[in-house]
């Protein structure tokens, strides 16, 4: 478990080589599972399935960003705080997924704004990025959730594939030494998944509309058959 947590710490900083190195601590079976889950997220993660995904995603946000935020604001931290925050955000994700969309987009944008503002004015850059970025993400919840799940799914697919194959091919190690190539490949998968979910896959409203239309057609056919059956019965003389 310590190896996994140590590998995940790379995601708290801008460290592409550290991000890619996660595949080294994953066994082959975990890589295969990661690939399968990644495909599901890329193709359908932004729909009703997002409520299930939002829980674990909230936990990851808590583990990855709690320490970073407290450090930015120069606050001392008990080692258990990230775990407690992760547990709370996991529950929030299952109960109210838009909150995770808000944090998942707002926190990175807030940190970016804080970096631009500089250490002395960090809060002045962080607050607008968090608030405005999070609100826009919630308003555009469907496309944003599709993009988020496609990005996560693409990364899981790429890292999972590397974890599943690295014991059988030295090519994986060579690719890992070019982390930007891995990031680019994941980005292309993420773009493809986002386009499919937003432009090709029907929205939940469209799916419900199509289901209602099929139900109406079925009921109309049944009524027509019943009417034909009544008229086909011979009348008594």
Q: What is the mean pLDDT of the chain?
A: 85
Q: Is residue 11 pLDDT above 80, yes or no?
A: no
Q: What is the pTM of this model?
A: 0.75
Average pLDDT, integer, range 149-155:
91
Confidence of residue 171 (pLDDT cuts 50, 70, 90): confident
pLDDT exceeds cutoff 80 at 234: no
Structure confidence by residue, pLDDT tens digits, 172-208: 888 888 889 999 999 999 999 999 988 888 777 777 7
Judge whether 70 and 165 are in contact, CB under 8 Å.
no
Among the residues of 140-203, which ranges form H helices? 141-165, 170-176, 179-195
| Segment 77-123, tens digit of pLDDT | 777 888 888 899 999 999 999 999 999 899 989 988 888 888 888 88
Domain extent listing, the chain? 2-201, 204-237
SS (HEC) of 186-230: HHHHHHHHHHHHHHHCCCHHHHHHHHHHHHHHHHHHHHHHHHHHH
Contact indicator for 130, 101 with CB cutoff of 8 Å? no
Q: Average of pLDDT values for 32-45?
A: 90
Confidence category of residue 236, pLDDT binned at 50, 70, 90: low
Is residue 125 within 8 A of residue 113, CB to CB? The reply is yes
User: Is the pLDDT confidence value at 154 over 90?
Assistant: yes
Distance of CA 135 to the CA centre of its chain: 18
Asked whether residue 13 carries a pLDDT value surpassing 80, the answer given is no
């Amino acid at each position: 478990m310590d190896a996994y947590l140590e590998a995940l710490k790379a995601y708290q900083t801008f460290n592409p080589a550290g991000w890619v190195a996660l595949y080294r601590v994953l066994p082959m079976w975990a890589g295969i599972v990661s690939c399968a889950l990644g495909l599901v997220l890329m193709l359908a993660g932004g729909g009703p399935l997002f409520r299930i995904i939002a829980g674990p995603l909230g936990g990851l946000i808590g583990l990855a960003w709690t320490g970073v935020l407290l450090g930015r604001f120069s606050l001392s931290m008990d080692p258990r705080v990230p775990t407690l925050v992760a547990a709370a955000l996991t529950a929030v994700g299952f109960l109210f997924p838009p909150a995770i969309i808000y944090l998942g987009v707002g926190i990175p944008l807030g940190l970016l704004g804080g970096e631009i503002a500089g250490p002395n004015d960090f809060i002045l850059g962080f607050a607008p990025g968090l608030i405005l970025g999070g609100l826009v993400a919630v308003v555009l919840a469907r496309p944003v959730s599709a993009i988020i799940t496609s990005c996560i799914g693409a990364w899981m697919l790429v890292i999972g594939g590397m974890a599943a194959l690295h014991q059988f091919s030295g090519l994986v190690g060579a690719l890992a030494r070019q982390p930007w190539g891995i990031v680019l490949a994941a980005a292309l998968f993420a773009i493809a998944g986002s386009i499919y979910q937003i432009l090709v896959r029907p929205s939940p409203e469209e799916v419900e509309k199509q289901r209602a239309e099929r139900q109406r057609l079925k009921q109309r056919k049944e009524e027509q058959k019943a009417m034909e059956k009544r008229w086909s019965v011979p009348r008594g003389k």
